[in-house]
Each structure stands twice: as C-alpha cells, then as structure tokens.
Amino acid sequence: MTEKTENERFERGHALLNKIHGTTGQDVLKGISETSPDLSKFITEYAFGDIYSRDALALRDRQIATIASLITLGDASSELKVHIKAGLNVGLTKEEIIEIILQMSLYAGFPRAIHAIKAAKEVFEEQED
C-alpha cells in the first residue's frame, strides 16, 4: 500500500482533467462545486487521479469506452457532448466517433444512436466556429 497523499491524487487528477477536457472540464466542475464541492473533489481525485491516470489503457481507448457507455446510458447528452469533445482532444477523429455511434445501434438500439448523432453534430459545429 503506497502512502500517496490526498493532495497528490487531486493534483494528478486536476492536471489530467485539464489535458483531456480543457476549459470545458473546469466549467463543469465549477457548476457542480457551487452545490457540492465534495462531488467535484471526488471526480477530480477518483475519476481522474485514480482511474484515468492509469497507464494500462491509452486515453484515446478510454474515451472510446466512455463514449460507448454514455450512449448506452442514454439520458446523459450533456455528458456525452463533453466526452465527444474530449475524444477529439485525445486523438479520435470525427469519423471514428461517428463509427462508435453506428456500432452502438447494435447494442443500445437506434433511438440512442440517433440521439448520439445529434450530440455529435452539435459538438462538431461548435468546433468549426
């Protein structure tokens, strides 16, 4: 059992969150922090400091898994947009993201694929501005 301090986990998570999500991530956490600073802290420490920072899977591969999961969950379109944007940040192409959505028509059904295409469209259009 290593003796890493809380602070190390937070700092590592904070840096990785910025790398993956850019200013979007900080905006999401700021909105959460007004009501629950602890939820914001746990996302930084556990999701990013503990999980995303592990070397055993590339960030690009992690975003494939996350986008697939959010499409399957179905109701998380604001989260999905945040992670489609992050996918582009860590090396997925627009074509690959569309392809993940097509693949999800098989496992999550067409309604969730259609919603995901709308989310992708909005992200792609914002990127062009």
Interface positions with a second copy (CB under 8 A): 1-7, 9-10, 28, 31-32, 34-36, 38-39, 42-43, 46-47, 50-52, 54, 56-57, 61-62, 64-76, 78-79, 95-96, 98-115, 117-118, 120-121, 124
Who contacts 13 (Cβ-Cβ below 8 Å, separation ≥6)? 43, 44, 45, 46, 47, 48, 49, 50, 52, 53
Distance CA 61, CA 67 (A): 10
| Minimum CB distance to a second copy smaller for 16 or for 101 | 101
Please state the closest distance from residue 104 (CB atom) to a second copy, in A.
Answer: 6
Residue 91 carries which DSSP code?
Answer: T
Residue found under tokens 């914001």: 40
Residue found under tokens 């590339």: 58
| Minimum CB distance to a second copy smaller for 23 or for 33 | 33
Please state the closest distance from residue 77 (CB atom) to a second copy, in A.
Answer: 8
